[in-house]
Amino acid sequence: MGRLLGLDVLVEGTIQKGRDRVRITSRLVDVHTGRLIWAENRDYPAADLDQVEAVAARDIAILLEAHLAIHDRRGN
């Protein structure tokens, strides 16, 4: 799918909700090689779903910004 969209990296993940916890698994994958660049599981209190979404989005954005900066410095 990433190649069809002309992407270099793809963020994918899952959300699992338990009775009192939410686990978000995020992965950053190199579209061209299929290589896993980064993966992380984070657990959050289920009562704070709005905050969980904001924190997860911020964490992924920070990671992407760092990856793109490295990618640009390499001239790729």
Domain boundaries in the chain? 9-74
**pLDDT tens digits, 8-32:** 888 899 999 898 898 988 898 989 9
pTM above 0.75, yes or no: no
**pLDDT tens digits, 26-76:** 898 989 999 998 888 888 888 777 788 888 888 878 877 887 787 677 765
Q: How far apart are CA 41 and CA 24, in angstroms?
A: 6
Burial profile 29-65: b = 16 or more Cβ within 10 angstroms, e = fewer: bebeeeeeeeeeeeebeeeeeeebeeebeeebeebee
Q: How far apart are CA 12 and CA 25, in angstroms?
A: 8
